[in-house]
Structure 1
Amino acid sequence: MTGFGWCLAACAGAANVIAFKNWGLYASHVTGSTSNIAFSLEGYEQGEFTNQTLREACSLVFSFLVGAYACGLLIDKNQVHFNGKAFYGLALILESALLTAAAFIPGRLVPACFVATACGLQNAMCTSHFGAIVRTTHVTGTMTDIGSTMGRISMIYLRKACRCTPLNAIERAEIGVDARKLAVLGGLWTFYLIGGLIGIYVENIIPGPKALLLPASVTGSAGLFYLDYIKKMEKDRFAADLKEAQDALTHMNLGCC
């Protein structure tokens, strides 16, 4: 599951840089788009209103929201639980379809909005793992959590160093949990960066939005793999239930004899 989150972070990093290189718009930066809305409204007060910038910023924010909304319709819990109760496969295939459409739709704002929708869908897909807040399409919160988690670990060691006492069981457990969080969060940041680098190089090889086909193929393949995994898991579960029922009938027949 950790690897799944890292893979999604790499796909988002690639899609984001490809969108910026082609259309000059960061598809996953809702914070930046919201700030652009504020700048546009301030320009209106100053008599320097830029309708295009406002339209672009509002469209990107709304598109990201639509993607997250779609994820809420498909996945009803806010944590990773690959047990067949959530439509992760369909969500990943939908994300792949959005990125593929963005690769071929002409224009500037509309394809960027498709990428933003894909990012919103992906970002809402899994938001909690190992007790860490997981965000796979941007890394501001990730870096914040890395810093605060490192601070908590350091404070535990500093308190013990000042008191010259060893760590107790509770403190060791807290450090263990925080260390697992750091592994998840550090991997997310690293793979987002790696994905961005891959996206830049791929766009240099395949100029234009068609470079989005790389993250689209990865997310689509992951979705198909998940659907196949669920089908196999359900088949195994049915076989186990059938065997349990047959065993129960056998015991009942033996008891009657």
Structure 2
Amino acid sequence: MLRHLGAKRTPQHNLRLATLLGITAGFVNAAGFLGFSVLTTNVTGHAALFAERIALQDWKTAQVIALWMFLFLAGAFISSLILSFTGRNQRYSYSIPIFIEIIILLFSGLYGQRYDGTLVSKEIFAGSLLFAMGLQNSLVSMISGSVVRTTHLTGTFTDLGIELAQLFNKEKRSQPALRTKIKLRLVIIFFFMTGAIVGAYLFHRFGFNAFYGPIGILIYALLYDIFRIRTMRFYQRTIIAIKKILDPELEDS
């Protein structure tokens, strides 16, 4: 799901990626908004707020909003830098950005109760979540070859609209790739919305402890790939050992 790249990557890998990290992003989007009154998974809305604050000459708030947008960019930059320097084909290189994201979500879960609604408090908590979502968005985009994006739905709805329109074209309608793309868009939208609904419900019930939910999902995503690697290697070694027992000549070759 996370470690397959290029030709080794299949639509199933992208579907699993969209499912788990789409839920995570939707969860953080809802819980972050309810907890800190700030959209924490994209910067589109912040651009309008930034322009408004500039027009009203509210320089202090404008600086904070600019910082939020920069932190999302910084998260994407850091994630890309990590994968570039560690090598995207190296084992578990993807785990570093996810581990950083887990630490940031843990910070919100542990210290969110100290949020007091001030501009400085928003700067810290909302900014850290925007950084985490920048990390995730860049990671997912690089792993999937820009096929999957999980932290916002604007581009996904646009792509879905284009691809649904192509169903009316007889030549394109028969292409399996088109249906695969549509399925992927629907999965991203469904699980993002599911994560948002679950995140809103759990935040109303458990407060900032709800942030432990996406942490659990991210840990599962890491362990899923780690144990699959170990299981597949054990399976391959077992098969090779059995073949050598059945055919001793293989051992000499």
TM-score, normalised by the number of residues in structure 2: 0.77
Worse-superposed segment, 65-74 or 196-205: 65-74
| Residue 69 of structure 2, aligned match among 56, 61, 77 | 61
Correspondences of 1:42-57 after superposition (within 5 Å): 43=55, 48-57=56-65
Equivalent position of 2:212 in the other structure: 213
Equivalent position of 1:254 in the other structure: none
The answer as to whether partners of 1:132 and 1:185 remain within 8 angstroms in 2 is no
How many aligned residue pairs are there?
227
Root-mean-square deviation (CA, aligned residues, Å) is 3.1
Matched, 1:143 2:157: yes
Q: Considering only CA atoms, is the larger Rg found in Structure 1 or Structure 2? A: 1
| CA displacement at 1:34 relative to structure 2 | 2.0
The answer as to whether partners of 2:167 and 2:173 remain within 8 angstroms in 1 is no
The answer as to whether partners of 1:13 and 1:137 remain within 8 angstroms in 2 is yes
Matched, 1:87 2:89: no
Q: Distance in 2 between matches of 1:61 and 1:180?
A: 33
Task: Point out where structure 2 has 5 or more consecutive residues left out of the alignment.
Answer: 1-12, 115-120
TM-score, normalised by the number of residues in structure 1: 0.75
Equivalent position of 1:201 in the other structure: 201
Task: Point out where structure 1 has 5 or more consecutive residues left out of the alignment.
Answer: 158-166, 252-257
Residue type at the aligned position of 2:188: L
Structure 1 residues 212 and 150, CA gap change in structure 2 (3 angstroms):
same
Residue type at the aligned position of 1:178: L
| CA displacement at 1:202 relative to structure 2 | 0.2
Residue type at the aligned position of 1:24: S
Matched, 1:9 2:22: yes
Q: Distance in 2 between matches of 1:223 and 1:131?
A: 19
Residue type at the aligned position of 1:26: L
| CA displacement at 1:128 relative to structure 2 | 7.2
Residue type at the aligned position of 1:185: R
Q: Distance in 2 between matches of 1:85 and 1:9?
A: 23
| CA displacement at 1:52 relative to structure 2 | 3.7
Matched, 1:103 2:109: yes
1:184-218 CA deviation, whole Å, 9 max, x = no partner? Answer: 001101111111100111011102x2211111121
Over the matched positions of the two proteins, sequence identity in percent amounts to 22
Q: Distance in 1 between matches of 2:40 and 2:146?
A: 24
Worse-superposed segment, 94-103 or 23-32: 94-103
The answer as to whether partners of 1:10 and 1:194 remain within 8 angstroms in 2 is yes
Equivalent position of 2:51 in the other structure: 38
| CA displacement at 1:134 relative to structure 2 | 1.5
| CA displacement at 1:144 relative to structure 2 | 0.1
| CA displacement at 1:138 relative to structure 2 | 0.4
1:5-47 CA deviation, whole Å, 9 max, x = no partner? Answer: 1221111111111111111100112111122222222x2xxxx
Equivalent position of 1:164 in the other structure: none
Q: Distance in 1 between matches of 2:128 and 2:184?
A: 28
